[in-house]
Amino acid sequence: MSSNLVVAWPHGIICASDRRVVDLVSGRVQTNRSTKITVFGCSDAHGAVVYNGIGIDDNGLTPSDWLLALGGKGNLFHRGLFELLDLVKNDLQARLQIIRAKYGPKKARHTFVFGAWHKGASAIYGISNYERVDDDKEAVEGSDEVTLSSFLPTPTARLRIVTTGLRPRLTDVRAIAEALKTGPPNRTLASSVRAVRNVAYGRGKATGTVGASCQWAWLGPERSQVWFGLDVAGGAIAQETPNLINIGAEVHLGGSFSARIGGPGMLIGDTYMGDDRARGVARYDAAKKKFVFSELRCGICGAPWPASHRFCEVCLYEKHRGKGRAQRRIV
Ligand SMILES: [Zn+2]
């Protein structure tokens, strides 16, 4: 399970997602640093994709890897948005049928949510076998068919917020809408990140299916207006950014530094940026022939602890929760 949201309004789209993956069968936390956002450009749209459901398949691939694989096949991301949505839908259906046959329909549920600028409007599309983006009902069992749903702006619903997975609290979703009406744009982003983090920290324990670090992407109507980043509870020593397919994006690195990554025709997965302290964040694995991100287990609680995070997010939560109790006693 993940927690993610897509906020779309007439001037922007924000996507945010947690980064935890738990094992489909045992429920054990496998990683706290899975990249669950892909920013993309296609011939007539640009947007970002978040997801909920399958974390890692039996081949060790994440749904972000599935999208990168599609991006690597010919020029699929140079086609129009609807053709692309159809390709992703068919690809997902074939993958879910294999998972369903092995683990059953309750485990084989998956949703991709696309927030995309298409024909000048901020559109939201869902590709799922158990829920829709224009309705918050969800089926307990995943269907063997994957369907496309849409949530487009209307004169009465210009602002739309779609949440999937473990949904944020209603008060946190309302705070996003309020921030958009009244505050500077950064407050909307901060509220979106907080809504996801509160899912991780808001249920009395920090070891559930949703993690406390959050990747995000912010997209304006122009293809050059794409910003993305990572927000980690307790701070990070490196930025680990969402994946990019056929588009460039800008990341703020701290102080007056920022970087622009990617561009048309490029596929970029699992990147990080940092100063000298970040040298150990990823290393080349000769056997796997790829860079592998370092993630040790916390010596105290055993939770996966990504090398880019300054603190273990589970212990950090326990520490603050302890403080909260102490303060309440004093009062
Ligand atoms: Zn810990």
Give the tens place of pLDDT for each residue, 11-70: 999 999 999 999 988 889 999 999 999 999 999 999 999 999 999 999 999 999 999 999
Q: Calculate how far, in angstroms, residue 282's C-alpha sits from the geometric centre of ligand 1.
A: 20
- DSSP three-state, residue 166: coil
Residue 326 confidence (pLDDT):
46
Cβ-defined contacts of 278-284 (< 8 Å, 24+): 278/237, 278/238, 278/308, 280/307, 281/237, 281/238, 281/240, 281/306, 281/307, 281/308, 282/307
**Dihedral pair phi/psi, residue 243, rounded to 5°:** -75, 155
Q: What is the per-residue pLDDT for 330?
A: 43
pLDDT of residue 324: 53
Summarize pLDDT for 156-195 with one digit per residue, the tens: 989 999 999 999 999 999 999 999 998 888 999 999 999 9
Q: How far is the CA of 311 from the centre of ligand 1 (A)?
A: 8
Centroid of ligand 1 to alpha carbon of 125 (angstroms): 37
Which helix (H) or strand (E) covers residue 172, if one does? helix 170-182
Give residue-wise pLDDT tens across range 77-120.
889 999 999 999 999 999 999 999 999 999 999 999 999 999 99
Residue (of 152, 216, 163) closest to 185 by Cα position = 216
- Between these two residues, 297 and 325, which has the higher pLDDT value? 297
Of the candidates 179, 98, 167, the one whose C-alpha atom is nearest the C-alpha of residue 131 is: 167
CA 319–ligand 1 middle distance (angstroms): 10
Closest by Cα among 255, 237, 260, 305 to 39: 260
CA of 206 to the centre of ligand 1 (A): 10
Q: How far is the CA of 29 from the centre of ligand 1 (A)?
A: 12
**Alpha carbon of 203 to ligand 1 centroid (Å):** 17
Question: Under CATH, to which class is 3-275 assigned?
Answer: alpha beta
| pLDDT for residue 322 | 64
- Residue % of the chain over a pLDDT of 90: 79
Mean pLDDT to the nearest integer, 306-320: 92
Q: What are phi and psi of 231, to 5 degrees?
A: -120, 120
> Is the pLDDT assigned to residue 308 strictly greater than 70?
yes
Measured in Å, residue 21 CA sits from the centre of ligand 1 at 16
Average pLDDT value for residue range 69-77:
86
3-state secondary structure at position 92: helix
Q: 303 with 32: CB under 8 angstroms?
A: yes
CB 49 within 8 Å of CB 37: yes
Domain ranges of the chain: 3-275
Q: Which has the higher per-residue pLDDT, 70 or 254? A: 70
The amino acid sitting at 50 is: V
Residue 130 confidence class, pLDDT cut points 50, 70, 90: very high
Binned at pLDDT 50, 70 and 90, residue 327 comes out as very low
Residue found under tokens 């092995």? 102
- Sign of the C-alpha dihedral computed for residues 178, 183, 189 and 194 taken in this order: negative
CA of 325 to the centre of ligand 1 (A): 19
